[in-house]
Homo-oligomer: A and B are copies of this chain.
Amino acid sequence: MGPGPSNVYPEVTSALVRPVIGHLDPSFLTVLDETMERLRQVFKTENSLTLPLSGTGSAGMEAALVNFVEPGDPVVVAVNGLFGERMCEVARRIGAEVVRVEAGWGTPVDPEAVLSAHDSPKVIAVVHAETSTGVRNEIAPLGEGKKDALLVVDTVTSLGGIEVALDEWGVDIAYSGTQKCLGVPPGLSPISVSKRARDQLLPAPTSWYLDLNLLAKYMESKSVAGRVYHHSAPVSMVFALHAGLGVLLDDGLDETWKRHLECGRRLQDGLEALGLRLLADASCRLPQLTTVEVPRTLSSGLDEAECRRVLLDRYDIEIGSGVGPLAGKVWRIGCMGHTARLKNVDALLGALAEVLRR
């Protein structure tokens, strides 16, 4: 119940151990095609260029920027947590002129401030669900007001847990990770690119490994002969993602969001009932990732790291520490994917009550 990875669905475990076959084997390519189609459904998009990148969510972040941004390009980044900071750093490495629009860690970014930060940015980048704070940033207003900019959205912790609707919201590039609300081990980064963004793909980005032109030639073609080998696709992880998306779509997007919401509410109500304070305001609070303030004094005499260690060692439950300015001040509790079950929430609340009382 940390900020990810979450527990994986049993169907995912079964898929992981399917025999390893070649990345050009027709039966693997069928699974890959289905995975891409399932990703489109979960991202709520018709973007043809929707595929699982062979790296973690941070590789997705880098791909979302390195394929579009050249040295000197203005990139507006909404920063209200660790992953907004990371977007700035990734863009800076590429040579972008980074324009930061900040909000406090624990509050959402103001869309108007983001839209008015620069006259004609190449990219506007924002994190949908900030894993470091448990805050949801609004995406739709950015899609409405973006003008000629490309809207890049980090959906690592949102995809599958709360609504994500790329086409409706006007998102141009979105990336995610497998290890949060999708209930799959970490290792792949689903990414989706709009037609409009696709027309602006750099022909030869500095990263060959993350070059979406080359990845499309391998992954998007519908004929075996038309596939152009790029790299050795991580077949076992693709099988796992295929299965995890299958569970999600069988249950239904609405049902899955509802399950995450119910777990988040029960957890957040339970934490408040224990006398703890939640960091994020209810209006922007994520159900799948809860940030709760560490009590100033614990009757048990344990510090916050010791509390987490007791939860792990005695109760087999992992929760996360705070990061950045929140280090030592909050715990981060995830309730994502197969972990998002009421029984897990109840187990944690019971354990935490015992640890705090000791």
Whether A221 sits at the interface, judged by CB under 8 Å, is no
A contact face: mostly helix, strand, loop, or mixed: loop
Contact of A56 among B4, B19, B20, B234 (CB under 8 A): B234
Interface stretch of the complex, out of A88-96, A265-273, A295-303: A88-96
Against B, the Cβ 8 Å flags (1 = close, 0 = not) of A1-13 are 0101111100001
Given A4-B232, A19-B7, A186-B234: A205 touches B93 (CB 8 Å cut-off): yes
Instruction: Name which residue of chain B comes closest to A14, CB basis.
Output: B17
- Report yes or no: B17 in contact with A17, Cβ–Cβ below 8 A: yes
Residues of chain B lying within 8 A (CB to CB) of residue A55: 54-55, 59, 209
Residues of chain B lying within 8 A (CB to CB) of residue A66: 206-207
Give A43-68 interface residues, CB cut-off 8 Å to B: 54-59, 61-62, 66
Whether A22 sits at the interface, judged by CB under 8 Å, is yes
- Report yes or no: B208 in contact with A58, Cβ–Cβ below 8 A: yes
- Report yes or no: B56 in contact with A206, Cβ–Cβ below 8 A: no
Whether A179 sits at the interface, judged by CB under 8 Å, is yes
- Report yes or no: A232 in contact with B59, Cβ–Cβ below 8 A: no
Residues of chain B lying within 8 A (CB to CB) of residue A6: 20
Whether A25 sits at the interface, judged by CB under 8 Å, is yes
Contact of A237 among B17, B230, B233, B237 (CB under 8 A): B237
Residues of chain B lying within 8 A (CB to CB) of residue A95: 206
Q: Give the distance to chain B from A117, nearest Cβ to Cβ, in Å.
A: 22
In the bound assembly, the distance between CA atoms of A17 and B62 in angstroms comes to 29
Q: Give the distance to chain B from A105, nearest Cβ to Cβ, in Å.
A: 16
- Report yes or no: A179 in contact with B5, Cβ–Cβ below 8 A: no
Whether A231 sits at the interface, judged by CB under 8 Å, is yes
Residues of chain B lying within 8 A (CB to CB) of residue A89: 208
Give A210-245 interface residues, CB cut-off 8 Å to B: 229-237, 240
Whether A318 sits at the interface, judged by CB under 8 Å, is yes
The 8 listed contacts between A and B (C-beta, < 8 Å) are: A13-B17, A16-B236, A21-B318, A22-B318, A22-B320, A54-B55, A59-B209, A207-B207
Interface residues of A (CB under 8 A from B): 2, 4-8, 13, 16-17, 19-25, 54-59, 61-62, 66, 86, 89-90, 93-95, 177, 179, 185-187, 204-209, 229-237, 240, 312, 318, 320, 323
Counting from the closest, the 7 A-B pairs by CB-CB distance are A187-B234, A185-B236, A58-B231, A186-B232, A62-B209, A90-B208, A55-B55
